[in-house]
């Protein structure tokens, strides 16, 4: 296995356990007796954890290195997600999800910085493919979850199996992870203890946040949307998450060459248009098949815009790559994790279709900012 391919495993393994927990949200909602709004409040604790991890742990990640950092983040978070169904109430789940979010934030910094450095070594893009392995892992776990839900296998057993798979495979693969050398043109200053966006980085932050808003809505709420709007069976409801994740995975795994040929700005604009069409189809779907097609288009559309924004942020020379990546990840992942609780509040008070219509103007703003992806926007 080549060094950069171990980054693929990190993303895939983390998606198996985190995705396992998120794909079983309908069951966790029933287990803890939560409304959509209350479920959203439970999830927001993970958002706060990710925010703290991304904001405060950048220096710690660099000090630990890729191998130790990946061991702690992936195994620690996986164990915490496996604990969720054993908690006696949602109040006990909240601190567990916060700690898991801390580790998720640290892993996000580690993987994105390492991916950018490997791009410099290889002379070609891999950022989209690295994030594609997260989506592929989520597709696999969503497909498994759909079958397990239909077979009425408990959440606890599902997540325990996922934890064992990740730990056993991770011991062999992560033990040989090594730090990639920093880019030659990387900023030579000290890494800041706190990572906040600069004015110059703000357009990329907003641009990266929009597709993650779509992704959060698709991952967390699509199965509940299918259940509440169309009263479909658990397998069909889970199929929405599966197809959405598969579409993202296909888009990310195949997009690097497309970006090299047509440029990040054109690709980003096209993908956002496709995502907008998909979200509109979901929000207005008269039939489950139309909604499933909409989820697929939304998945393709939001697939590679975030990796494009990460690459653009990592190549800026005003601050160390780790700081700019952490700052962008800070804002975008707050949207990824805080967006679903907001959508849950809207779903509870105005209907779940309305919550999807709210995403459309967010995508429209992102379309206006695609110029920030143009080559040469480095400082």
SS (H, E, C) 226-263: HHHHHCCCHHHHHHHHHHHHHHHHHHHHHHHHHHHHHC
The pair of three-digit structure tokens given for residue 325, joined into one six-digit string: 């990546």
Residue 287 neighbours by CB under 8 Å, 6+ apart: 230
Between CA 136 and CA 85 the distance in angstroms is 24
Between CA 36 and CA 33 the distance in angstroms is 10
Architecture of domain 5-177+196-373: Up-down Bundle (1.20)
C-alpha torsion sign, points 266, 268, 271, 276: negative
Between CA 85 and CA 250 the distance in angstroms is 31
| Burial annotation 218-249 (CB, 10 A radius, 16+ → b, else e) | bbbbbbbbbbbebebebebbbbbbbbbbbbbb
C-alpha atoms less than 13 angstroms from C-alpha of 221 in its C-beta half-sphere: 37
The domain ranges of the chain are 5-177+196-373
Measured between alpha carbons, how far is residue 187 from residues 108, 118, 316, 317, 373 in Å? 20, 17, 9, 6, 20
The one-digit pLDDT tens for each residue of the chain (379 residues) are: 788 889 999 999 999 999 889 888 888 999 999 887 788 788 888 888 888 887 788 788 888 998 999 999 999 999 999 999 999 999 999 999 999 999 998 998 899 888 888 888 888 878 878 888 888 888 888 788 878 887 889 999 999 999 999 999 999 898 888 888 876 655 544 445 556 778 888 889 889 889 888 887 887 778 888 988 898 887 787 788 888 888 988 888 888 788 888 988 999 999 999 999 999 999 999 999 999 999 999 999 988 898 888 888 877 777 777 678 777 877 776 676 667 777 778 878 888 899 899 999 999 999 999 988 876 544 3
pTM score:
0.75
The pair of three-digit structure tokens given for residue 195, joined into one six-digit string: 């990572």
The pair of three-digit structure tokens given for residue 324, joined into one six-digit string: 């700019």
């Amino acid at each position: 296995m080549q060094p950069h391919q171990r980054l693929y495993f990190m993303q895939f393994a983390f998606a198996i356990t985190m995705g396992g927990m998120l794909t079983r949200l309908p069951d966790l909602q029933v287990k803890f007796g939560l409304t959509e709004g209350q479920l959203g409040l439970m999830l927001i604790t993970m958002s706060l954890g990710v925010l703290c991890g991304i904001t405060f742990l950048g220096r710690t990640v660099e000090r630990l290195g890729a191998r130790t950092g990946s061991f702690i983040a992936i195994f620690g978070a996986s164990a915490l997600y496996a604990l969720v169904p054993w908690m006696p109430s949602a109040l006990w789940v909240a601190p567990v999800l916060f700690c898991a979010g801390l580790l998720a934030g640290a892993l996000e910094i580690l993987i994105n910085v390492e991916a950018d450095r490997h791009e410099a070594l290889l002379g070609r893009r891999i950022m989209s493919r690295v994030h594609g392995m997260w989506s592929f892992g989520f597709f696999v776990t969503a497909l498994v979850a759909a079958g397990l839900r239909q077979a009425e296998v408990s959440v606890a057993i599902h997540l325990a199996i996922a934890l064992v798979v990740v730990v056993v495979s991770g011991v062999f693969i992560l033990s040989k992870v090594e730090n990639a050398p920093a880019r030659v043109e990387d900023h030579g200053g000290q890494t800041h203890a706190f990572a906040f966006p600069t004015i110059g980085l703000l357009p990329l932050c907003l641009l990266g946040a929009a597709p993650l808003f779509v992704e959060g809505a698709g991952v967390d709420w699509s199965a509940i949307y299918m259940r509440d709007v169309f009263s479909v069976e658990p397998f069909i409801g889970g199929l929405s998450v599966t197809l959405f994740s598969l579409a993202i995975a296909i888009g990310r795994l195949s997009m690097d060459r497309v970006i090299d040929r047509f440029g990040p700005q054109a690709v980003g604009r096209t993908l956002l248009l496709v995502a907008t069409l998909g979200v509109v189809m979901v929000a207005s779907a008269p039939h489950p098949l139309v909604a499933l097609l909409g989820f697929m288009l939304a998945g393709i559309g939001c697939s590679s815009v975030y990796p494009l924004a990460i690459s653009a942020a990592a190549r800026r020379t005003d601050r160390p790559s780790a700081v700019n990546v952490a700052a962008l990840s800070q804002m975008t992942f707050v949207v990824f994790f805080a967006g679903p609780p907001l959508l849950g509040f809207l779903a509870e008070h105005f209907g779940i279709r309305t919550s999807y219509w709210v995403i459309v103007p967010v995508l429209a703003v992102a379309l206006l900012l695609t110029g920030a992806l143009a080559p040469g926007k480095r400082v």
